[in-house]
Structures are given as structure tokens and as C-alpha cells.
Amino acid sequence: MEKAEVFYEGRVQGVGFRYTAQQVAKGFEVSGTVRNLPDSRVQLIAQGERGEVEAFLEAIGESGLGGNIRGRDVSWHPADPDLLGFRIEA
């Protein structure tokens, strides 16, 4: 298992990005969090088998939000065994 930390840039706040990410996550075996950042970016953390996480991230880009994303920075880290479920953080 691996954990991806993703920072999305563009018009990603105020467009339902976090809710959509949470809904898309239901179709994948991933756990994680998504939250808005003060600098207008969105931070998403997703963990699971690397192929599953990559497919999840691809599905976010193919959702109705793809046109709002201008940049995506992904870094990979060891999985966190305490990260369960997929939730929106304030």
C-alpha cells in the first residue's frame, strides 16, 4: 500500500471538488482525506494499492471537475495504517 498526497490548482474551491472527490472515492478501494487550503488549492490524500490510487486520481480528472484543474502535484509516501475511510476535512 502507498499514499499519494496531491495538491490541485485552478478553480478547485467553491465548485464541489471535495464532495465530488468523496463520491468518486466510493467506487475505489482507497482511504484518505480532501480539504481546501487557504492559498486556493485543494489537498487530497489517498492511499491503497498504487494502481487503485492512480485509477482514483484519474477518475477525479475525468469527473465533471477536470476542466477546473490547472495543475496537479503528486508525491508518494508510505501508507498510514490509521487512515481509514475517505472524508472531507474542514
Which residues form the catalytic set?
18, 36
- Please give the Cα distance from 2 to 49 (Å, whole number): 6
C-alpha cell at 15: 465548485
Q: CA Rg, the chain, in Å? A: 12
CA angle 88, 15, 59 (to 5 degrees): 70
